[in-house]
Amino acid sequence: MRVPARRKAIAGTAIAVALVASTVALIAFMGPGPSSIDPPLFGIIVSRDGPDWQLAVARVPSGMAYTSTTLTLLRQDRSTNLSATPWIDLDFAENGCSLRSVNPAANAVSVGDRVLCRVSWYAEGTRYLLLDRGNAIAIGELR
């Protein structure tokens, strides 16, 4: 027995509508996802402090070592201005940036630590990328 073409079209449309409705219901049930409700584990505040850009740590998980936390700076054309450099190795004379730790005896990043970078070396709009053990923890611009 043959099914008329119109019945096939109606059945196909009904299946498509049911799939869309079930997908929307599933998304509504699951919510917006963990990235939009979980607070960030790392927070940075960027400002200008006289001759320097200041990247101040506002929030940090435990265990981020100065040796494994790196700073990369990119020009506006996205070419590298400072390749990934561990915070412990930042030096004004060598690369125009320096770490100012709230606790000079510490080995790990703490709230209140600051990375200072010379405005004369890094123009406004320079992009920064902070990594911890190769994972991006902060991305933004010097403004």
Pairing of strands 80-86, 52-59: unpaired
Q: Are residues 121 and 54 in the same domain?
A: yes
Q: What are phi and psi of 120, to 5 degrees?
A: -65, -20
Q: Are residues 90 and 122 in the same domain?
A: yes
Q: Are residues 21 and 47 in the same domain?
A: no
Overall domain count for the chain: 2
Residue 30 pLDDT grade (very low, low, confident, very high; cuts 50, 70, 90): very low
| Cα separation, 71 vs 37, whole angstroms | 27
pLDDT of 41 reads: 80
Q: Are residues 29 and 48 in the same domain?
A: no
Q: Are residues 117 and 134 in the same domain?
A: yes
Residues counted in the chain: 143
- According to DSSP H, which parts of 51-118 are helical? 92-95
Residue 35 pLDDT grade (very low, low, confident, very high; cuts 50, 70, 90): very low
Q: Are residues 19 and 48 in the same domain?
A: no
Q: Are residues 49 and 109 in the same domain?
A: yes
Q: Are residues 19 and 89 in the same domain?
A: no
Q: Span 2-11, mean pLDDT?
A: 57
Q: Are residues 63 and 96 in the same domain?
A: yes
Q: Determine the 3-state secondary structure of 64 from DSSP.
A: coil
Q: Are residues 48 and 101 in the same domain?
A: yes
Domain range for residue 16?
5-37
pLDDT of 5 reads: 58
Residue 133 has pLDDT above 50, yes or no: yes
Q: Span 95-104, mean pLDDT?
A: 96
pLDDT digit string, tens, across residues 42-82: 899 999 999 999 999 999 988 899 999 999 999 999 999 99
